[in-house]
Amino acid sequence: MNSQILKIFYGLVALFFISINAQVQRNRSTTLMGCRFDFTIIADDSLTAEKHIDSVINEILRIENLISDWKSDSQISKVNQNAGICPVKVDPEVWQLTRRALYISEITEGAFDISFAAIDKIWKFDGSMVQIPSSKQIKESIKNIGYKNIILDSLNSTIFLKNPGMKIGFGSIGKGYAADKAKELMLNKNVKAGIINASGDISAWGKQINGKEWKIGIVNPFNPADIMGAFTIHDKSVTTSGSYEKYAEINGKKYSHIINPQTGYPVRGIESVTVIGPNAEMANGFSTSLMVLGEKKGFKLIDRFPEYSCLIITTDGNIRKSKNFNIKLKIYEKQLSPKSKF
């Protein structure tokens, strides 16, 4: 009799420990900041996981209302509306984000520039272009771009755009920043694992519910419907910029939607750049910048920041890794471009 009681007791204890250690994984997708966000959260129960996703969405909506230049009442829109007129006081969070954006501009020597938002839309990537813009049109379109004309006042927390017609926008790092802030919020709530995917700007922490690291796929830029390779991460961020996302084809020649802010011309020579590092905002700035800088200058830049690494796929199909790329990458050879080599 005693042995039966002990068996029941130990059985109940085992069930208790299983229940307290059991976790669930919940996924949700929605549109925020003009793009798709995918959320995966691991929590003790479904209701808690869903509540965490709700709080993450509210955090991203908060950020969107601060920095979205397409919302007329946002702080960034007010900065743009007062270009050449007067400085505008903004929240310290917005001021600091702008300061960090200018830092990226400095280290990339203008390959990255948040005042790119002022460019006239002379390049069309909706299939309507039949000829490339003239050199005069291009020169005119970039006249209001110049990060050195963005004046920050730390004492008063103001941003001033010196020239009328200037405009700033955070399309290049805003999603990465939002992903970072969502992760930070979850860590503060003691959420042990999750992944935020802001249309390719990814911030992950912890591990999947099965104990494995998060698996990240790399799109084959020569056939975007396919995944050309994959690697796993935990407690890392990954961003990818690519010429294949949008482009114009004129007289059999493709022109990327990624424009060099200094020249006004689409970038050439690189199909995609994937950057891995501790911070999605910074990785996003790097992936955009490296598309503009090109392979040689891009590697020279990333090598200065050992906590970040990158993978570049060139237009002729070569796959290049930065010196500090130490992540195990699995290549699916059958899906590579015939010109590609590793």
Instruction: Show binding-site residues for Mg(2+).
Output: 172, 288
From the list 77, 82, 52, the residue with the least C-alpha distance to 66 is 77
Residue 120 structure tokens: 């006239």
- 286-313 burial by CB neighbour count: b if 16+ within 10 A, else e? bbbbbbbbbeeebbebbeebeebbbbbb
Residue 158 bridge partners (DSSP): 89, 153
Rounded Cα gap, residues 56 and 187, in angstroms: 11
From the list 264, 266, 250, the residue with the least C-alpha distance to 137 is 264
The binding site comprises 172, 288
Rounded Cα gap, residues 273 and 269, in angstroms: 11
Residue 10 structure tokens: 């130990």
For 187, list phi and psi in degrees, rounded to 5.
-65, -35
For 286, list phi and psi in degrees, rounded to 5.
-65, -45
CB 26 within 8 Å of CB 50? yes
Q: Is the dihedral of CA 275, 280, 286, 290 positive or negative?
A: positive
